[in-house]
Amino acid sequence: MEAQKDLAIVIKSIQFAERHRIVTAITQNHGIITAMAKNAVQSKRFGGALDLFIASDWILQFKPNNELAFLSEAQVRQSFDQLRKNFEKFSLASVFTEFLLRVGPQNQPCPEFFQLHANALYALNENTACQGFEVFFLNSYLMKLLQLSGNQPQLGSCLHCQIALETLDPQSEINCLIADAGWICPSCRSQSKILIQESRAQGFTQSFFKVSQQALLEIGLGLVTPIRRIILSPPPALNSAEARDRQTGFFRWIEGLFIYHIPGFDQKPMNSLRFLGLDSGLTKATDCL
């Protein structure tokens, strides 16, 4: 086995047997991989490099026909230590990680996914005023994750009449469709009810969500702005209870897109969401029959 070097960010780490650790990470060159770190428990050999959110240089070995790699060395490059000192930051980073684990490519290069996650953790770690902006940060990250996975919804115009989002009344209520990954304007909804007929998608009780025009414009801004910039300098208008309510409603639609369009996403609940005060749309299969 030839040793290979890669930059990795830990997204899951569990103890195996009495002395070993099994670590899952998003890497720069190999996508999401899982590696065995022998004799890592109660050992100074890895120096904290196997803790959650740590970015470090790994020395890996891969065996043919074996998805489990073997980690021989790891040297910390970035600790993101502020994430473990602040509950809101830790909770948000945990949700990032839980979504990434379900969407990121396994054992294949995905530098864009790695860069998004690394930049999001860096910006969150450096941000001094996270509280109040968590849901907007999350929605911005998730929209970029949908974009990278090839499932970006259409935000610019109505799916039916193609009217531009910017031309609608800011107070207008828009129907966001899960199955069609887009939205329809109030006029089209009233003219063609078939566009919003409810169909029980797996894990759902409805196929569309109502959001405001302003929420769509806000998240469009989050999609086109680099994650470091949007988190470090969020628009002041987003720091209000009303803005959080808008973004919370929009999150439910984004989660619906993940569940409906990404196979296997709904196999288990999203446990980390409860720390942000968000309810997951995931339900047991029996609840949808």
Q: What is the CATH number of the domain that holds 56?
A: 2.40.50.140
Output the CA torsion 88→268→250→155 (10° steps): 120
Span 153-172, mean pLDDT?
92
Shared domain check, 152 and 54:
no
Each residue's pLDDT tens digit, 210-232: 898 988 998 898 899 999 888 77
51 and 185 fall within a common domain: no
**Residue 106, domain member (yes or no):** no
**In this structure, are 151 and 262 located in the same domain?**
yes
Domain assignment present for residue 172? The answer is yes
Report the C-alpha gap between 86 and 16 in whole angstroms: 28
Largest CA distance in the chain: 67
Give CA–CA dist 265/243, Å, rounded.
28
Q: Is the pLDDT of residue 283 over 80?
A: no
Domain match, 157 and 253 both:
yes
Let me know whether 175 and 257 are in one domain.
yes
Taking CA atoms, 17 is separated from 33, 84, 141, in Å, by: 20, 26, 35
Residue 87 placed within a domain:
no
Structure tokens at 4: 């290979």
Pair 13, 140 in one domain: no
56 and 156 inside one domain:
no
Please state, rounded to an integer, the average pLDDT across all residues of the chain.
86
DSSP string, 173-212: EEEEETTTTEEE-HHHHHH-GGGG-----TT-S-SEEEEE
Question: Is the domain of 19 the same as that of 134?
Answer: no
Q: How high is the pLDDT of residue 118?
A: 97
Both 146 and 244 in one domain: the answer is yes
Eight-class DSSP state of 149:
T
My answer on whether 250 and 163 are in the same domain is yes
Residue 199, pLDDT score: 41
DSSP 8-state code for residue 85 = T
Is 258 a member of any domain? yes
Torsion angle, CA of 53/113/208/272, rounded to 10 degrees?
-10
User: Does residue 65 share a domain with residue 119?
Assistant: no
Q: What pLDDT score was predicted for residue 132?
A: 67
Q: How confident is the model at residue 30 (pLDDT cuts 50, 70, 90)?
A: very high
Is this structure's pTM higher than 0.95? no
Domain boundary among 36, 60, 79: 79
Q: Is 80 exceeded by the pLDDT of residue 234?
A: no
Backbone angles phi, psi at 172, to 5 degrees: -70, 150
Domain boundary among 79, 101, 125: 79
Which of 58-62, 197-201, 248-252, 268-272 shows the lowest per-residue confidence on average (mean pLDDT)?
197-201
Residues 182 and 42 in one domain: no
Give the residue from 79, 102, 123 where a domain finishes.
79
- Judge whether 102 lies within some domain: no
- The whole domain housing 69 covers 3-79
Is the per-residue pLDDT at 32 higher than 50? yes
Q: Is residue 166 part of a domain?
A: yes
Residue 240 sits in a domain whose CATH number is 1.20.1440
Domain count, the chain: 2
